[in-house]
Amino acid sequence: MFLFLDRLLCYAFFHGIAEIRCCLLFFCFVAKSPEGKVPEVIKPAETVEVEEGKPARIECQISGQPKPTVEWFKDSEKVKESKRVKPESDDETFSLNFKETELDDEGDYKCVARNEFGSVSSQAELLVNEAGAKPEFKEKMKNVSVEAGKKARFDVLVTGSPPPEVDWVKGDDKLEDAGRFALLDNEEEGSFSLIIEDVKPEDSGKYECIAFNELAEVSCKANLTVEETLVAPEFAEEAESAPILAEEGGDIDLNVLLKKGQPEPQVEWLKDDKPVQVDERLDVGINEDTHSLKIRGAVPSDSGLYKFKVSSKAGSLERVFDVQIAGTVRHLILVTSAVIPVVCLYDFVSQY
């Protein structure tokens, strides 16, 4: 643009012969102020949460005249365009597009818009959650063989998302973290263990580990074999060889101190090779390692050979008690005299 300022006329005479007229024009040029607008955020970027492997888009709306140029930054470093990550713009909408997100994409993203009049920025967070995955055993249970009284252990390594939980089962019974059973777990590493202390023969059998999350359930199984250490049972005391004598009506106690051995033996009381029938007079009891047979109010028919019989895989043995009950018998004695005959009754003990 220019502005006309003034005009000047000049006259010149050359020897009175001619007249030359000229006109001088003076102009002054003034620069016009440029027209435009500083970039302004119309709609800020918002936090985006997405599952790993899924597409994601962070966008904002920014105005400005002339249209601003945009750069994207992640954690203060400029985002490099690739086949997987591309910036795009449409009119006043600027976006950063992820074709398939990765866990490393998570972070704070900033969109910086500039033109000749200034700059502005908008920031948002991208959250990438680990993709859901069914539980999978990386290491399964292995069969275990252990001696009785020792410790048995099953271990598994499980992956999945969300991190799976684990149950331990034997047969139809879910095992709890109590008594001889200990359950160890490290969900971050996915390692789980079942420990059985002081293993007993009845612990033998098939065990199962069940891993589950909201997507699925998987399981694996293994056997526990308990190797028994055979120790024969034995009596802790020497037997009495003499018969056991008792009076009718009295009580009799037959006691045996037994070292059980391994495995625990079966025990039985017999009378004349027939099982003792427990009733209100005959009672069988166990107090720690002492086994007893009590006879209350003995009668002559209680006499006989009593046996305490012990048997296990490691061996068998028995102890015999010869019980003899002394009964009371009445005999009639006739006493005669010269005048009147007299009958006297005498009681004395007779043994059977």
CA distances, 346 to each of 167, 325, 335, 337, 342 (Å): 80, 20, 12, 18, 13
Claim to verify: residue 122 and residue 141 sit in the same structural domain = no
- Whichever domain contains 192, its CATH number is 2.60.40.10
Using H for helix, E for strand and C for coil, what is the string for 69-113? Answer: EEEEEECCEECCCCCCEEEEEECCEEEEEECCCCHHHCEEEEEEE
Residue 2 lies in a domain: no
Asked if 106 and 162 sit in the same domain, the reply is no
Q: Which of 111, 129, 147 is the endpoint of a domain?
A: 129
Would you say residue 244 lies in a domain? yes
- The answer to whether residues 113 and 97 belong to one domain is yes
Number of domains in the chain: 3
233 sits in which H/E element: none
Residues 118 and 141 in one domain: no
Confidence (pLDDT) at 313: 87
Comparing CA positions, the residue from 4, 6, 5, 2 lying closest to residue 32 is 2
pLDDT for res 238: 86
Q: What is the pLDDT of residues 130-151, one digit of tens each?
A: 888 899 999 999 999 999 889 9
Q: Is residue 307 domain-shared with residue 294, that is, in the same domain? A: yes
Q: For residue 153, which of 109, 196, 189, 182 has the smallest C-alpha distance?
A: 196
Indicate whether 115 and 159 sit together in one domain.
no
268 located within any domain:
yes
Which residues of the chain register pLDDT less than 50?
A: 1-18, 20, 22-24, 26, 28, 330-339, 342-352
Buried b (16+ CB within 10 A) or exposed e, 315-326: eeeebebebebb
Domain span including residue 112? 37-129
Q: What is the CA radius of gyration of the chain?
A: 54
| Among candidate residues 81, 106, 129, the one where a domain is terminated | 129
pLDDT at 328: 55
Q: Is residue 345 part of a domain?
A: no
Domain match, 319 and 284 both: yes
pTM, two decimals, is 0.46
119 located within any domain: yes
Domain end: 75, 102, 129, which one? 129
Q: Does residue 188 lie in a domain region?
A: yes
> Residue 184: what pLDDT?
96
Distance CA 110, CA 175 (A): 53
103: left (phi over 0), alpha (psi -120 to 50) or beta: alpha
CB of 30 closer than 8 Å to CB of 1? yes
Q: How far is CA 309 from CA 244, 252, 271, 318, in A?
A: 18, 19, 11, 4
CB 217, CB 137: distance < 8 Å: no
* Pair 46, 73 in one domain: yes
296 in Cβ contact with 266 (< 8 Å):
no
Do residues 240 and 314 share a domain?
yes
- 108 and 60 in a common domain: yes
- Are residues 125 and 147 part of one domain? no
Does 248 lie in the same domain as 216? no
User: Which tokens hold the place of 131?
Assistant: 């993709």
Instruction: Note whether residue 296 is domain-resident.
Output: yes
Number of H helices and E strands in the chain, helices first, is 0, 30
Is there a domain that residue 321 lies in? yes
